[in-house]
Structure 1
Amino acid sequence: MKKNFGILIAGFIIILGVFILFFVQGREMPGQLPNLSMKQPSDKADNQTIATEESPLPIPPLLKDRNPDPNKAVFQLTAQNATKEFVPGKKTETMGYNGDYLGPVIRVRKGEEVSVKVKNNLDDITTIHWHGLEVDGDKDGGPHSGIQPGESWTPKFKIEQPAATLWYHPHPEQETGRQVYKGLAGLFLIEDEVSDRMDIPKEYGVNDVPLIIQDKRFNSDGTFQYDLGMHDVMNGLQGDTMLVNGAVNPFFEVPRGMMRLRLLNGSNASVYELNFSNNQTFYQIASGGGFLGKPVKMNKIVLGPAERAEILVDFSDLEKGETVQLENNGSEFMKFTAKSESPKEYTIPTKLTTIDKINPDDAVKTRKFVFQGMGPMVNINGKQFDMDRIDEKLRMNDTEIWEISNESGMGMMDGTVHPFHAHGVQFQILDRDGNPPPANETGWKDTVLVNPDEKVRVIATFKHSGVFMYHCHILEHEDAGMMGQFKVGE
């Protein structure tokens, strides 16, 4: 009763626009957020957009597989504190896996048995969540799988899903936003026989390039600004400086031909609308869970937090030395410069893969998930996260329809877009407000944007047992309690 009263009081204060916010100390209130400030981003006297010289795009290294057996893979990751110069001459305190910021790319194959030893050299508890990977709950890396400072966790699992661009990041209760913001994230790539035979760019770091896109706020001394103001509590922390693979103002030399870009929105809260400055078209070939049935021609793409997309871009019309910028909502943040002719010509495939559509008639149950509330009282179905409570119980191998609706505006003001993510499963979108999804959302997904007052229906078959999370992937909302748990199996 005490918790519910605290949440109602906080909601009353925010709705009326009162500039006082009270938090109960400790962990008693489920919606509590660390380091809360009443300041807006604009109130920060030392907040600044970082302007630096152009720098080459860093390419995250491929993590070495320590097992020579082609059917098994063994990897090692260490989460550690570090410093990095985003601004020349100014050190920023960061976190990274095996380095100073972000982490290496883990690349595996379907059918492989994988083991990852994760060492925690941080000062705080952490976890590592395999975002998009279909594994049992005890291998998923949610908040139950905490790794204490100085300790290790070694999950083992078999890759049982098709080629895809996934990622990994920490998931400790109430600390996910801060740890991801400071740099803990990396890509997890799956290959299979379908990707092997596909005639598309595959040379990693040359014509098959990952772009981990994030936005940050910096203080004038170069440090990250992660003290949450009211605007951040309401909407999640959104920055004014774009990073790609951890670099500000990066450039990349591309062949005058086809490029494959693996895009990840690795931000805490921002939704990106990406396009090229010359308005050229490109083809999306994959969404978060793998290849689409066929390429989708586009000239812009919208990615919410945690969403991924693979696109094919043909730079053959550029003159040698000519540049084109990648833009977010009309603001340039990365430059591509054409160099020599491409050593190989590619054509856009007419078909990519076969996606077996799940029949809605096979669904044994429809569940409803309603995003509600604002600021510290965000919730799903009126409940905030409680690690000791299972919110939904499912049976193994059942097919279900999940109906996700966004009522966070409560009819009183503009609402917030919420990206819905479910752990341990890939789903298919049935419809948005009763309408078929756009062509680039007809493949496998694990995260879907739900707009204010929108209802999205997805369908999935649950093939892995254990306890899993479902939550908003605006990380400040997740940390505030916009998360629940579902259990598959007994």
Structure 2
Amino acid sequence: MRNRQSSMIVLALAIFLIIIIYFFQSEALFGPMSNTSMNRDQAQSQSEADQGERTATAEPLPIPELLEDTNPHPDQATFDIVSQNGSKTFVNDVETETMGYNGDYLGPVIRVRRGEEVTINVENQLEDELTTIHWHGLEVDGEADGGPHSGILSGETWSPTFTVDQPAATLWYHPHPEKNTGRQVYKGLAGLLFVEDEVSDQLAIPKTYGENDIPLIVQDKQFNADGRFNYHLAMPDIMTGLQGDTMLVNGSIDPYLEVNQEMIRLRILNGSNASIFELAFDSGITFHQIASDGGFLTEPVEMDQLRLGPSERAEILVDFSQVTKGEVVQLMNRNQSFMTFNVEGQAETAFTVPDSLTTIEPIEPSEAVRTRQFVFQGMGPSVNINGKQFDIDRIDETISLGDTEIWEVSNDSGMGMMGGTVHPFHAHGVQFQILDRDGRAPAPNERGWKDTFIVEPGETVRVIATFNSPGVFMYHCHILEHEDAGMMGQFEVK
């Protein structure tokens, strides 16, 4: 009994010592916190104290503009993007400092076609700040991928050219500078990128952009009591990533969308820094997921809840034809409403859920020439993969061009009695097929192409891919504060 008590005392002291060590390490990594911002408990108390004073006016859902293609050639496209500082009012009629692409917050939708040669001129107008722009989910060579190696200095322009060679999908773009990705994305640098092809052309699904084909960039934020962004990194935020208590959709708080009594298509991006969303409709409306990160599923999957980790995407079909005119439908995250659909007019076009969507050829495990292991480990500023933190001068894995490999991604970053952290795994320049989770087949909506997938504490996820794009690419946790802290590695395909 005495030995057991001694062991418990030693364990408690060890946990306390770990927390103290992480605190001082976080001070060294992220800078002093007590003098620059409130910790989470203080911020929460302040928020609760001023809740009655903090107001946001509901507005129609903002729809990002489609970026103009300035190239008249039918098989080529040219786009111009500017990263810039800005300001925007979210609550209390107070402006907060933001960043945006071609505007104050977020960016336009870039729409390209399979087979097009695309050039994107990216100008950095941020004040004295380096940035990059990463085409998340796009299968391009490493030189065009936009990772940490492709830094754009303030006042300079980067103009990658690439040929789109992958199925129709909802992708996105965001900055990827070393140790500063979380802050730049949080302040507003993000936008959607649509790939279209013959399959998407032929499917009888809603595709009129802004009317029945609606983009939803869903994020959560913390605001100070005065209505400004509160991007701080107190201890809980270093452990779990920065999570907020206020939901935004396309940069708006509690927006509404007027819809007809018809089927609409929602292209949803979890654009948060760290939060996992569990989305559902309050009225119990079911919906059909038709696409995941890398494109259409083989057939629609009927669901009543959608779970998305940071940077995951899903396209869903929602049928409002059975909803009474004048009824209000709420979109919710974990039973908290954050967007309203006002059902108004009669159906303009009658859509039905297709029986099938596309063909996906499974990659057979027997085709793999190698199996690699990637293990999420550590806590706070000590997070790592396979015991190593990111070093921009080190290549961690080398892959032969055209090879098929199995990657086993495990989450060993649990904290014993203190629980563990979910980690979303993302790799650049490639799309995976999930083979299994702890030996179990993936859920039906995870049986398409995926570039990001959640790994639960203690879980191992096996995926398979063929690496057809040469160059240096990143793999990392897509909790952006973890990525910035070093939970990232590099692989080279050659």
TM-score over 0.5 for the alignment?
Answer: yes
Partner of 1:107: 111
Counterpart contact for 2:378–2:384, Cα < 8 Å: yes
- How much does 1:411 deviate? 3.2
Partner of 1:478: 483
**How far apart are the structure 2 equivalents of 1:158 and 1:264?**
24
Which runs of 5 or more structure 2 residues have no equivalent in the other structure?
1-12
Name the aligned partner's letter for residue 352 of structure 1. L
| Counterpart mapping for 1:301-312 below 5 A | 301-312=306-317
Instruction: Please give the secondary structure, in 2, of the residue aligned with 1:84.
Output: strand
**How far apart are the structure 1 equivalents of 2:245 and 2:193?**
27
For residue 22 of structure 1, the aligned residue among 21, 24, 45 is: 24
Partner of 1:282: 287
**How far apart are the structure 2 equivalents of 1:319 and 1:187?**
32
| Counterpart mapping for 1:122-133 below 5 A | 122-123=126-127, 124-133=129-138
**How far apart are the structure 1 equivalents of 2:33 and 2:374?**
28
Instruction: Please give the secondary structure, in 1, of the residue aligned with 2:260.
Output: strand
Q: Does 1:43 align with 2:48?
A: no
CA RMSD of aligned residues (A): 1.7
**How far apart are the structure 1 equivalents of 2:371 and 2:426?**
17
CA shift in 2, pair 1:160/1:241, >3 Å: same
CA shift in 2, pair 1:373/1:164, >3 Å: same
Partner of 2:255: 250
**How far apart are the structure 1 equivalents of 2:478 and 2:172?**
13
| Counterpart mapping for 1:90-489 below 5 A | 90-123=94-127, 124-489=129-494
Partner of 2:3: none
Instruction: Please give the secondary structure, in 2, of the residue aligned with 1:477.
Output: helix
Counterpart contact for 1:39–1:230, Cα < 8 Å: no
Instruction: Please give the secondary structure, in 1, of the residue aligned with 2:363.
Output: coil
Which runs of 5 or more structure 1 residues have no equivalent in the other structure?
1-10
Q: Does 1:33 align with 2:30?
A: yes
- How much does 1:36 deviate? 4.1
**How far apart are the structure 2 equivalents of 1:24 and 1:407?**
21
**How far apart are the structure 2 equivalents of 1:483 and 1:208?**
35
Name the aligned partner's letter for residue 145 of structure 1. S
CA shift in 2, pair 1:88/1:47, >3 Å: closer
**How far apart are the structure 2 equivalents of 1:36 and 1:256?**
51
1:401-429 CA distance string (max 9 Å, x none): 00000010153421000000000000000
- How much does 1:70 deviate? 1.4
Counterpart contact for 2:26–2:380, Cα < 8 Å: no
Name the aligned partner's letter for residue 41 of structure 1. R
- How much does 1:206 deviate? 0.3
Partner of 1:5: none
**How far apart are the structure 2 equivalents of 1:435 and 1:470?**
24
1:385-416 CA distance string (max 9 Å, x none): 00000000000000000000001015342100
Moved over 6 A (4+): 11-14
- How much does 1:321 deviate? 1.4
Residue identity (%): 63
For residue 56 of structure 1, the aligned residue among 56, 60, 73 is: 60
Taking structure 2 as the reference length, the TM-score comes to 0.93
CA shift in 2, pair 1:152/1:403, >3 Å: same
**How far apart are the structure 1 equivalents of 2:82 and 2:18?**
46
Instruction: Please give the secondary structure, in 2, of the residue aligned with 1:341.
Output: coil
Decide which structure has greater helix share: 2
Counterpart contact for 2:83–2:126, Cα < 8 Å: yes
What count of residue pairs does the alignment treat as equivalent?
A: 474
Range with greater deviation from structure 2 (121-130 or 35-44): 35-44
- How much does 1:41 deviate? 1.5
1:294-352 CA distance string (max 9 Å, x none): 00000000000000000000011111111000000000000000011111111110000
Instruction: Please give the secondary structure, in 1, of the residue aligned with 2:90.
Output: strand
Range with greater deviation from structure 2 (417-426 or 336-345): 336-345
